[in-house]
Amino acid sequence: MPVRPEKTKFKTEVRGRVYYFCSEYCKRRFFERPRIAYFSMEVGIKSEIPTYSGGLGVLAGDTIRSSADLRVPLTAVTLVSRKGYLKQKLTEEGEQLEYPDEWDPSKYMSLLPQTVRVRIDGREVKVGAWIYEHQSVTGGVVFILFLDTDIEGNAPEDRRITDVLYGGDERYRLKQEIVLGIGGVRMLKALDVNVAKYHMNEGHSSLLTLELLKENDMDEDKVKNLCVFTTHTPVEAAFDKFSYDLVQELLGDEYPLEVLKRHGGQDRLNMTLLALNLSKYTNGVTKEHMEYSRKLFPGYHIMSVTNGVHSYTWTSPYFRHLFDRYIPGWANEPELLVRVGIIPDEELWEAHVKAKEALLKFVKDETGVEMEVDALTLGFARRATSYKRATLIFSEIDKLRELNGFGKIQLVFAGKAHPRDLEGKRTIKEIYKYMRMLKGEIKIVYLENYNMEVAAKLTSGVDVWLNTPLPPLEASGTSGMKAAHNGVINFSVLDGWWIEGCIEGVTGWSIGPPPNERIEETKRREMELEDLYNKLKYLIIPTFYDRRDEWVNMMNNSIGKVAYYFNSHRMIRRYVTEAYLL
């Protein structure tokens, strides 16, 4: 209910901030109502807080943003990652140089007085928490707890546990997961948060189930009732696994090994399996990923909630303005984007051109390269890792040259490789090689230090968003959804979310065979390259240059048939009705 601060007598001060309420009842409810505790190793709440590496963290951020907008009582738990993930610089040759992305939590959040203890490697490690308040314009608030072990009294080694996101070896990783899962549950308890459900965003936090077992007299049903698990990985090899020797060495005997093995697997502790066995509700992040997960874990009840992106965050100022004028209320009810048809074509195109000009200016400032606003611009940006196949479009250079003769194209790339992902780093160098090879013919740039800010510019400023992962490895993917919010048209392999989003020639174009086609790798690649070059040459280039009406019609469909559904407001409402209220 709207409250006039000067009129209400129901208020309270928490951590130096005053909260106003309309009644004693509302005030009590704010503090005592049951909450969803949302655990995520990475959270992308904004570019200045670099505690994310890619889609998983951005999804967590979008979940938080939508929950705040919709006033879903959710509290997030993550690690403070004081040195971030990495800051990327690239040499002339495309060699990735990595620097710590250090940030100062005290600039954005406040340190809570409470600390809890976890046992790691035979030592008591103190865990503190920073509290960040994400405030929605609708009045909703979501708190994020950033757990921190850099606390006076901890051994120097332990103070570094919450430094680097996905840094160090597996020993370091397990320590982080102990802090996140076990430390997180203890911190919520110390803060008297009334937790209705623990939602594990990926398996990194699944040690929390052990702590919950302990709290609930080892009653597995009780714990299952408390837990919700979202898996994000479609391959067995990518699940976090730890040897029981290491687990015992670090965790000690606080939790019976027999229980761990029963739920987490006999050979090694599989974090996905542990979460799966102790959650009543488990979901994949697209329908296809659900099917895949069911095959990986036969006999388990696995559902799906297809990912979405936070509409307001990922819509450029130019389109926000347009939507505000023609579709008021769209930001908190993105379904309304289905009415995009009432926006005149010229205005839609104009907004797109402005977003494109803003991107090209950014490209010029960053790289010195002057791209052309009239040229068909393709974007490709995501974590640089091999299954995403950033270089697929360069597979047949002559064909690329040929279609560029048909209608000019230009390419914008970005993406960081994990420091230990040598193949990912090689991919960046290869793109640099092609950049040099095609110099003077096709304008290509690689933007440094891909982050949320760069992502917002890129996904709104290009004409076509290219996506060429190797199926079935892209469980969902979300950057194409950002593009769709800005009338940018997707051209993508049928994997992850695009299987649900693509209507060929209507919402965008597909690359390669339909999903689930039993096909050998060389044949698949052949079909993909054929689509990639032929559709560019015979469909995409001619539509862009010669049939602008048709192009704008597809931009319309990107918004009205894709963005209206693939947003995190729809996603979080489904989590509420299907998982949280279960």
Ligand X SMILES: *Cc1c(COP(=O)(O)O)cnc(C)c1O
Q: Which residues form the interface with ligand X (CB under 6 A)?
A: 54-55, 58, 382, 450-452, 455, 477-479, 482
**Among 307, 333, 247, 254, residue whose Cα is nearest residue 477:** 307
Residue 55 or residue 184: which is nearer to ligand X going by CB? 55
User: Closest distance between ligand X and the C-beta of residue 308, in Å?
Assistant: 11
User: Closest distance between ligand X and the C-beta of residue 501, in Å?
Assistant: 13
**Among 497, 477, 289, residue whose Cα is nearest residue 381:** 477
Residue 58 or residue 540: which is nearer to ligand X going by CB? 58
The answer to whether residues 406 and 541 touch, using CB atoms and an 8 Å cutoff, is yes
- Rounded to whole angstroms, the Cα distance separating 43 from 63 reads 10
Identify residue 243 by its one-letter amino acid code.
Answer: S
Q: What angle do CA 7, 13, 17 make, to 5 degrees?
A: 95
- Measured from the Cβ of residue 119, the count of other Cβ atoms closer than 10 Å reads 15
**Among 508, 472, 505, residue whose Cα is nearest residue 487:** 508
User: Closest distance between ligand X and the C-beta of residue 455, in Å?
Assistant: 3
Residue 45 or residue 273: which is nearer to ligand X going by CB? 45
- Rounded to whole angstroms, the Cα distance separating 377 from 374 reads 9
User: Closest distance between ligand X and the C-beta of residue 52, in Å?
Assistant: 7
Q: Strand, coil or helix: what is 457? A: helix
Residue 60 or residue 208: which is nearer to ligand X going by CB? 60
The answer to whether residues 445 and 367 touch, using CB atoms and an 8 Å cutoff, is yes
User: Closest distance between ligand X and the C-beta of residue 61, in Å?
Assistant: 9
- Rounded to whole angstroms, the Cα distance separating 392 from 526 reads 11
- Rounded to whole angstroms, the Cα distance separating 465 from 490 reads 5
Residue 408 or residue 485: which is nearer to ligand X going by CB? 485
Residue 55 or residue 128: which is nearer to ligand X going by CB? 55
283, two tokens: 């979901």
User: Closest distance between ligand X and the C-beta of residue 489, in Å?
Assistant: 15
Q: Which residues pair with 35 in a beta bridge?
A: 195
User: Closest distance between ligand X and the C-beta of residue 497, in Å?
Assistant: 8
Residue 159 or residue 482: which is nearer to ligand X going by CB? 482
User: Closest distance between ligand X and the C-beta of residue 78, in Å?
Assistant: 16
Residue 466 or residue 529: which is nearer to ligand X going by CB? 466
Residues 6+ apart with CB under 8 A from 406: 537, 541
Q: CA end-to-end span of the chain, whole Å? A: 27
Residue 55 or residue 84: which is nearer to ligand X going by CB? 55
User: Closest distance between ligand X and the C-beta of residue 477, in Å?
Assistant: 4
Q: Strand, coil or helix: what is 38? A: strand
**Among 460, 440, 454, 489, residue whose Cα is nearest residue 363:** 454
User: Closest distance between ligand X and the C-beta of residue 462, in Å?
Assistant: 13
Residue 54 or residue 203: which is nearer to ligand X going by CB? 54
Residue 427 or residue 479: which is nearer to ligand X going by CB? 479
User: Closest distance between ligand X and the C-beta of residue 474, in Å?
Assistant: 7
Query: DSSP letters along 141-201, please?
Result: EEEEEEEE---TTS-HHHHTTTSSTT-S-HHHHHHHHHIIIIIHHHHHHHTT--EEEEEEE
**Among 94, 159, 77, residue whose Cα is nearest residue 436:** 94
